[in-house]
Structure 1
Amino acid sequence: MALARVAEAVILGWGWRKRLIALAAGASGALALPPLDLWPVIVVPMTNAVWLIDGAVGISAWSRFRAAFAAGWWWGFGFFIAGLWWLGAAFLVEADKFAWAMPLGVVALPAFLALFPAFAFGFARLAWPRGAGRILVLAAMLALSEWLRGHVLTGFPWNVYGMMLAGEIHLAQAAALIGLYGLTLFAVAIGAAPAVLGTARTASGSRLPLLLAFVALAGLFAFGLWRMPDAPSPLVAGVKLRLMQPNLPQDAKFNSNSGAAILERYLELSDRATSPTTPGLQGVTHLIWPESAFPFLLGRTPGALSRIGAALPPDVTLVTGAARAGEMLPGESRPPIYNAIQVVNDEGVILASYDKVHLVPFGEYLPPILDRLIRGVGLSQFVAIPGGFAAGSARTQLAIKGLPTAAPLICYEAVFPGEVAARGPRAGFFLNLTNDGWFGQTSGPYQHFAQARLRSIEEGLPLVRVANTGISAVVDAYGRTVASLPLGVEGVLDSGLPRAGPVTPYGRLGDSIFAGLLLLFLAFSRFRAHD
């Protein structure tokens, strides 16, 4: 049997041959991620993961752990290199300043992230049963490692393995019940099930795991069909949103000398006619601009606020990303600077603000000692603020006149399942302002949008997403795109606001359902089928 020969080659592989197999198998998983979303490809990385652990042999538990750990590291390194290669584009925006750091983003970060699947492989090997049970052990250990990756050292839950299934809208609906990490359990188990075809001693030993994988996949799809209504989501009455996507080059966006020109460009673009019946901002209730829209502090630039107030028709509210200065603290030489969302009325008055809580390490802030070290040797960090941005004190909701209460998410904050909704009364929608212009025409912005969309499914809340270079979109509570502007396009988008859906089980219980499934997978892994 051809598959048996492939399994034998992987299991018996050694040295650099085994490392290359693991690297290639892991890298293939990126094909199942946006923008390709070839979700059936999950079979390749997950099936090979089983065989790689099968081949982690040794005379002691420690030696078997080390062998599996090494295979898992190469497997993970391949996955993260292939899934995060686009990070290199950010270092080329101002290559004279940041090219020195490119190896940190495209090699060192994947090398570090690969430690998580490495430990998952190692601990899976210690509990490795014979037969089909090992599929469930692998799923449990990889899902647990992904949960840890999303939380350790502030977390980096980008391209969690469950995203391999999330590109198919019906399969993604399961996130409303079990969340991204629960989806990861099923993605790994379904993808790994064919491994038994290459190693089972009897035909009956290979049929049951495949049958269960098919039933699980069909069940996920059927749940999605049942959950999603056929009719479009109803809209909030009296709301007409205008999303402005300027597609501004990243090097111009942070040029302090371009502030006035950038503001005029935003105002001109925002006032474009979108149809013969909608000239300019006529009929619009809320105008929304992307993250970090200006190379100046909006709240400390009265001329800009006056210009905005003069340009807004009566009763039109602007919601925009902007840097915000906080109160000066005793003993400090400058006020804290926040990456914020600000609400501006038609008189040019800032009515409300939200400060980003979950900052991007090394991108938006550095520990003071590292900041001094980098500047001491004449290098720069991405944010041209000594020490970077300050973090907001707490995740809060944002009150905007004429809209349901918003759950604001600035850029990176949208990738954290279970952390996107503030405590207290439920918000009416997610407001995600972002700037993916650092990453150009790569897969990064597609991945970012897909993760934000999955938050809508998990929580049952619509999403309004405005990005500098795209993808800007309005998404309903089931993850269906109502309207969108593609990546790399300048334009405006008019849309209504979908109503919130019912509270989801995941919205109520968070990752507790995932924890229960994790224990069930480990418990059932001890039952042995004929192999």
Structure 2
Amino acid sequence: MPRRGSGSEGAPLRLSGWFAALRGWRRLIVAFLAGALGALAMPPFGMLPALVLSLSVAVWLMDGAAASRARLRQTLLPCAMVGWAWGFGYLTAGLWWLGSAFLVEADEFAWALPLGVVGLPAALASFYAVGFAGARLLWSPGAGRICGLAVGLAGAEWLRGHLFTGFPWNTLGMALGQNLWLTQSACLVGLYGLTLVAILVCAAPATLATGTSALGRFGPSGVAAVILGSLALFGANRIPVAHDKAVAGVRLRLVQPNLPQDAKFRPENREDIVDRYIELSQRPPLGGPAPTHIIWPESAFPFLIQRDPASLARVAGSLQSGQRLITGAARAEEPLPGERLRYFNAIMTIEPPNRISDTYDKVHLVPFGEYLPAPLDALLRAVGLRQFVSIPGGFSAGSRAGQRILDVPGLPPAAATICYEAIFPGAIVPSGVSMRPGLILNVTNDAWFGDTPGPRQHLAQARLRAVEEGLPLVRDANTGISAIIDAYGRVTASLPLNEEAVLDADLPASIDAPTLYARFGDWPFLAMLTAALLCALGAWRRA
């Protein structure tokens, strides 16, 4: 427990002591509220001080839960419960907008809304419980416990992004991943490296209220300020003053149709839907040459265009000479004897007169959104539950990640991603690909989530992939936010949310050489994690 002080010095000591003295349900409620406060550091709010307060309170709560090293077994569970409650609050406040998807077809899915809004955060909070329990094993008085928390919590975030198909949405590193200068370090250490730094920096001020000496109180915050300043200086010096040159001979048109995710988007309305896409695609150029490549969003059609020769011919015939169309579309594959028809969420390249020249099948599907997990499939269907997409049996995953590189005439090789595939760091460029892509292509449909933080968070996370890989990002979204982003994460052009429009823009060039993160992935993060672990262990042994 921290010692008492007097005057202005005693006030913060008494405050931290009050948090540390909490027990039982009071401790868990405060942990929940602290986690919810931390969600304000995520897009679109970007309030970094909220994460400072959130993690400082978490440290003080852990001080109380880990009050005695002699009682390690007795304190592991209380520390894990603090972590679970903190994570539950953080994820509930950050992911509440998922409930919008359950209301698109409310007659069928509204009953399951609590499963998405409360059940998913409750389950994912288990990772934070593990992280806080791990931090307890390294807990010690003073600054060492900040490293211990960073190791446990950053490790938990890495696990959340990889286990059980992974869900790295609103990983804590995004608190630094929104500022253009601070986010540049992602080219070195990636999202998880930023996560470790964010935890160290934001938890360090907790010692201002618990240190027993001037160095112990102010030292960690001083180091955190130096780290933050160094990140900003690195970022400011990395970003060139002028925008990179554009890729010669490429003019993109992003079509944002703003189609509602309701009864209007049905197969019987195919003619109107195709007409809408063609009309938008054929609008006069907006302040430049005619588009060479037109891009339509994920699942552009409520039918299988590959099996509709008339619609395919109409779409291909609407293209001007030399134009190529890149579109999201569901596709079907003929089954082997005894198998059902398999459907894929795909990206297709269409050329005149009616040819599909290249295809990418989505590899990383959304559980419960695009398919039901195999162990639960039969049980869930027995109680009347299906995936959100109206595809018999749901989508099948693409068989090879290597399919991700699209070969589109006139474009550099494109690393294709569909929807939330763009939130997975290190998965943009498949391993074993000899030719480095020249851009990241992301088609998506965020109409499920309306005008909520969801689409904005999605864009921010996809933008970070551009910085990590040193590649421009071309993102086309049905209802927005569609954008062109350069290899430094600068938005060069964009369309607002929930607006029907087209965007004509040049394609920014990629950075000449692969970034450190593109070459080594999460190895720099693991090296940083090891260093923080050694610091925490050293402090633990000296305590």
Q: Which amino acid aligns with 1:411?
A: C
How far did 1:254 drift? 4.0
SS at match of 1:313: coil
Kept in 1: contact 2:133–2:152 (CA 8 A): no
Answering whether residue 425 of structure 2 is matched by residue 414 of structure 1, we say: no
- Which residue in 2 is equivalent to 1:182? 193
Q: Which amino acid aligns with 1:367?
A: P
Which residue, 403, 407, 424 being the options, matches 2:411? 403
Query: Mapping of 1:249-264 within 5 angstroms?
Result: 249-252=260-263, 254-264=265-275
Which residue, 350, 356, 361 being the options, matches 2:356? 350
- Which residue in 2 is equivalent to 1:434? 444
Query: Mapping of 1:124-139 within 5 angstroms?
Result: 124-139=135-150
Which residue, 310, 315, 318 being the options, matches 1:303? 310
- Which residue in 2 is equivalent to 1:239? 250
User: How has the CA–CA distance of structure 1 residues 378 and 361 changed in structure 2, closer, same or farther, with 3 Å as cutoff?
Assistant: closer
Answering whether residue 373 of structure 2 is matched by residue 367 of structure 1, we say: yes
Query: Mapping of 1:243-392 within 5 angstroms?
Result: 243-252=254-263, 254-275=265-286, 283-332=290-339, 334-368=340-374, 370-392=376-398
SS at match of 2:347: strand
How far did 1:377 drift? 3.3
Kept in 2: contact 1:64–1:126 (CA 8 A): no
Answering whether residue 477 of structure 2 is matched by residue 467 of structure 1, we say: yes
Answering whether residue 536 of structure 2 is matched by residue 525 of structure 1, we say: yes
Kept in 1: contact 2:172–2:199 (CA 8 A): yes
Task: Name the CA distance, whole Å, in 2 between partners of 1:121 and 1:488.
Answer: 40
TM-score (norm 1): 0.96
How far did 1:204 drift? 2.2
- Which residue in 2 is equivalent to 1:33? 42
Structure 1 stretches of at least 4 aligned residues deviating more than 4 Å after TM superposition: 527-531
Shifted more, 482-491 versus 373-382: the winner is 373-382
How far did 1:252 drift? 4.0
Kept in 2: contact 1:129–1:526 (CA 8 A): no
Kept in 2: contact 1:343–1:352 (CA 8 A): yes
SS at match of 1:236: strand
User: How has the CA–CA distance of structure 1 residues 303 and 87 changed in structure 2, closer, same or farther, with 3 Å as cutoff?
Assistant: same
% identical aligned pairs: 54
Q: Which amino acid aligns with 1:288?
A: I
Which residue, 175, 187, 202 being the options, matches 1:191? 202
Query: Mapping of 1:1-20 within 5 angstroms?
Result: 1-20=10-29
Task: Name the CA distance, whole Å, in 2 between partners of 1:213 and 1:528.
Answer: 18
Task: Name the CA distance, whole Å, in 2 between partners of 1:208 and 1:527.
Answer: 17
Kept in 2: contact 1:253–1:294 (CA 8 A): no
Task: Name the CA distance, whole Å, in 1 between partners of 2:538 and 2:72.
Answer: 22
Kept in 2: contact 1:431–1:464 (CA 8 A): yes
Task: Name the CA distance, whole Å, in 2 between partners of 1:370 and 1:271.
Answer: 46
- Which residue in 2 is equivalent to 1:208? 219
Kept in 2: contact 1:140–1:522 (CA 8 A): yes
Q: Which amino acid aligns with 2:438?
A: G
Matched positions, count: 526
Shifted more, 408-417 versus 4-13: the winner is 4-13
SS at match of 1:474: strand
Shifted more, 490-499 versus 366-375: the winner is 366-375
- Which residue in 1 is equivalent to 2:234? 223
Task: Name the CA distance, whole Å, in 2 between partners of 1:410 and 1:40.
Answer: 33
User: How has the CA–CA distance of structure 1 residues 508 and 379 changed in structure 2, closer, same or farther, with 3 Å as cutoff?
Assistant: closer
Task: Name the CA distance, whole Å, in 2 between partners of 1:476 and 1:104.
Answer: 38
Kept in 1: contact 2:444–2:476 (CA 8 A): yes
How far did 1:528 drift? 4.5
Q: Which amino acid aligns with 1:283?
A: A
Task: Name the CA distance, whole Å, in 2 between partners of 1:359 and 1:523.
Answer: 37
Shifted more, 392-401 versus 288-297: the winner is 392-401
- Which residue in 2 is equivalent to 1:507? 518
Kept in 1: contact 2:346–2:361 (CA 8 A): yes
Shifted more, 503-512 versus 201-210: the winner is 201-210
Kept in 1: contact 2:368–2:386 (CA 8 A): no
Task: Name the CA distance, whole Å, in 1 between partners of 2:469 and 2:290.
Answer: 30
Which residue, 26, 47, 59 being the options, matches 2:56? 47
Kept in 2: contact 1:367–1:387 (CA 8 A): no
How far did 1:327 drift? 2.9
The one-character-per-residue Cα deviations of 1:156-185 (angstroms, maximum 9, x if unpaired) are: 111000001111111001110011001001
Gaps of 5+ in 2: 1-9
The one-character-per-residue Cα deviations of 1:205-226 (angstroms, maximum 9, x if unpaired) are: 1121111101100011111011
Q: Which amino acid aligns with 1:414?
A: A
Shifted more, 402-411 versus 307-316: the winner is 307-316
**Aligned-residue RMSD, C-alpha:** 1.6
Task: Name the CA distance, whole Å, in 2 between partners of 1:204 and 1:224.
Answer: 29
Kept in 1: contact 2:35–2:54 (CA 8 A): yes
- Which residue in 1 is equivalent to 2:4? none
Kept in 2: contact 1:274–1:492 (CA 8 A): no
- Which residue in 1 is equivalent to 2:454? 444
The one-character-per-residue Cα deviations of 1:185-215 (angstroms, maximum 9, x if unpaired) are: 1100000011101111122211211111011
Kept in 2: contact 1:441–1:487 (CA 8 A): yes
Kept in 1: contact 2:333–2:342 (CA 8 A): yes
Kept in 1: contact 2:259–2:265 (CA 8 A): no
Task: Name the CA distance, whole Å, in 2 between partners of 1:469 and 1:198.
Answer: 47
- Which residue in 1 is equivalent to 2:156? 145
Q: Which amino acid aligns with 2:428?
A: V
TM-score (norm 2): 0.94
The one-character-per-residue Cα deviations of 1:290-327 (angstroms, maximum 9, x if unpaired) are: 00000011111111111112211111110000001113
How far did 1:248 drift? 0.7
Q: Which amino acid aligns with 1:419?
A: A
